[in-house]
């Protein structure tokens, strides 16, 4: 069995990565376990509202325009993901406080400096005394990991939280 870790996060999506960055900033070591393989994921745009991305700027310590250049769909061309309300069917749905971000690039930025173990699908969790034992699917590295705490950020239908 691997040596004990303080905190394990299941799922390296936007939620898991954001929490992991917040903990890293406070020097709390964490390991993320993600069932997908590494590499660019989610090559599509999502709309980020200012209220949702503003707190993220503190975590990678980046100013708003640099953040947009990094993650906006047109960031590499000098754009900032601005939404042209005239092109929308529902023009009222647009707000100057939101922009179009490339989800893969956003996750890439959040992942910087984090320890992500790819292709680790959590199967079950056992609580033994004051720690937990995580069991990953057969055939994967680190099939059994001991941890002080596990946080389930494995999506809307999280099995870990269930």
Instruction: Name the residues that contact ligand FAD, by CB under 6 A.
Output: 10-16, 33-36, 46-48, 52, 120-122, 153-155, 159
What's the closest the beta carbon of residue 38 comes to ligand FAD, in angstroms?
A: 11
Q: Which is nearer to ligand FAD, 20 or 69 (CB)?
A: 20
Counting Cα atoms < 13 Å in the Cβ hemisphere of 39 gives 5
Q: Which is nearer to ligand FAD, 30 or 129 (CB)?
A: 30
Give the end-to-end CA distance of the chain in Å, rounded to a whole number: 25
Greatest CA separation for the chain:
59
Q: Among all residues, whose Cβ is closest to ligand FAD? A: 13
Query: Is 21:114 a contact under the CB 8 Å cutoff?
Result: yes
Query: Hey, which residues does 31 pair with through a beta bridge?
Result: 8
What's the closest the beta carbon of residue 69 comes to ligand FAD, in angstroms?
A: 19
What's the closest the beta carbon of residue 77 comes to ligand FAD, in angstroms?
A: 21
Q: Which is nearer to ligand FAD, 101 or 130 (CB)?
A: 101
Contacts 24+ apart (CB under 8 A), 87-94: none
What's the closest the beta carbon of residue 63 comes to ligand FAD, in angstroms?
A: 21
Q: Which pair of structure tokens corresponds to residue 14?
A: 């936007």
Taking the C-alpha atoms of residue 159 and residue 125, their distance in angstroms, rounded to an integer, is: 10
Q: Which is nearer to ligand FAD, 84 or 130 (CB)?
A: 84
């Amino acid at each position: 069995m691997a040596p004990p870790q303080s905190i394990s996060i299941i799922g390296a999506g936007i939620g898991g990565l954001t929490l992991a960055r917040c903990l890293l900033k406070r020097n709390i070591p964490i390991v993320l376990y993600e069932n997908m393989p590494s590499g660019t994921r989610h090559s599509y745009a999502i709309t980020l509202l200012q209220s949702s991305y503003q707190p993220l700027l503190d975590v990678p310590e980046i100013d708003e325009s640099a953040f947009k250049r990094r993650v906006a769909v047109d960031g590499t061309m000098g754009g900032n993901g601005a939404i042209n309300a005239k092109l929308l069917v529902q023009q009222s749905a647009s707000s100057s406080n939101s922009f179009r971000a490339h989800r893969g690039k956003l996750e890439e930025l959040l992942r910087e400096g984090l320890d992500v173990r790819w292709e680790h699908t959590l199967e079950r969790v056992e609580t033994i005394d004051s720690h937990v034992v995580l069991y990953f699917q057969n055939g994967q590295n680190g099939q059994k990991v001991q941890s002080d705490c596990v946080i389930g950020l494995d999506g809307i239908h999280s099995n870990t939280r269930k």
